[in-house]
Amino acid sequence: MSVMNGFYRVTQIIRDTLQADENCNTVTYGDITQVDLDKQTMFPLSHVILNGATSGENVMTFNFSVLSMDIVDISKEDGDNFRGNDNEQDVLNTQLSVLNKLIQKMRIGSLYSDKYQVVGDVSLEPFRDRFENQIAGWTATFDIIIENDVHVC
């Protein structure tokens, strides 16, 4: 695999892994403001953002942020003081699981063996009301290393 194709492979692997999760209906890429978040049929949604890359002697390091989110349903019934009257905690639990599975597959699972490896700690930040509609979820920011097989002789 050349690094030139490595970018395509890394983004495809992230997409395929997220898409295979039963708690992810749609995977998008790029500028989140270009995604029509009003289309409720897209949810649960994971969105991939490339933050940058670093070229090392033996590896390429890609820094990604992946947002996993779903619509928060508000009940007409009164809730309790802890959980409220919506399913926000359920959304946060489910979408954290989507990201954790992706991360673990690249940390110790089959993707790690295939040399798509998450390195270092992964930052996970919850959000609510970040967008106009009632969406909650998590943003995971992490580095993935792949082999840098470009050699100049």
**What is the third-level CATH fold of 3-147?**
Alpha-Beta Plaits (3.30.70)
* pTM score, whole prediction: 0.87
**pLDDT interval class at 3 (50, 70, 90):** very low
- Ranges of each domain in the chain: 3-147
Contacts 24+ apart (CB under 8 A), 115-120: 115/146, 115/147, 116/9, 116/10, 116/13, 116/144, 116/146, 117/144, 117/145, 117/146, 118/142, 118/143, 118/144, 119/61, 119/143, 119/144, 119/145
Q: What is the pLDDT of residues 37-85, one digit of tens each?
A: 888 889 999 999 999 999 988 889 999 999 999 999 876 666 565 556 6
